[in-house]
Amino acid sequence: MEKDKEKLTVNVVNDRGASMMSISQVTREGEQLAITGSLLGAWESTMYLEPEELLKMVRLLLKKEIIGYMISALFLIRKRKKLQAES
């Protein structure tokens, strides 16, 4: 029997932890990326990203501070899991 796969969802929250956007799927539709999710926890929608916008997003992510955060995120996740296990 095959285990059920956990549905991968990316949550974007505000400074109080409330969900602003949840992304449940990213697929390709022709020349665009289709991003499926919900806005403010209510409006299910599909948003589209043009190739030019994808390149802009990559440029936003290729900053030293963001790359440093991505590397440190591995340690932050481990630290949070350890604290949760101790609670």
At 22-52, the pLDDT tens digits run 999 999 999 999 999 998 878 899 999 999 9
pLDDT at site 55: 94
pLDDT at site 24: 94
Give CA–CA dist 87/76, Å, rounded: 17
Q: Which two tokens stand for residue 3?
A: 């285990």
For 74-83, how does the pLDDT look when each residue is reduced to its tens digit (9 = 90+)?
999 999 999 8
With a cut of 80, say whether residue 6 has pLDDT above it: no
Residue 8 carries which DSSP code?
Answer: P
Number of H helices, E strands in the chain: 2, 4
The arithmetic mean of pLDDT across residues 6-34, rounded, is 92
The arithmetic mean of pLDDT across residues 48-63, rounded, is 94
How many other CB atoms sit within 10 Å of the CB of residue 74? 9
CB 35 within 8 A of CB 48: yes
Give CA–CA dist 25/18, Å, rounded: 20
The arithmetic mean of pLDDT across residues 50-78, rounded, is 94
Type of residue at 86: E
pLDDT at site 2: 45
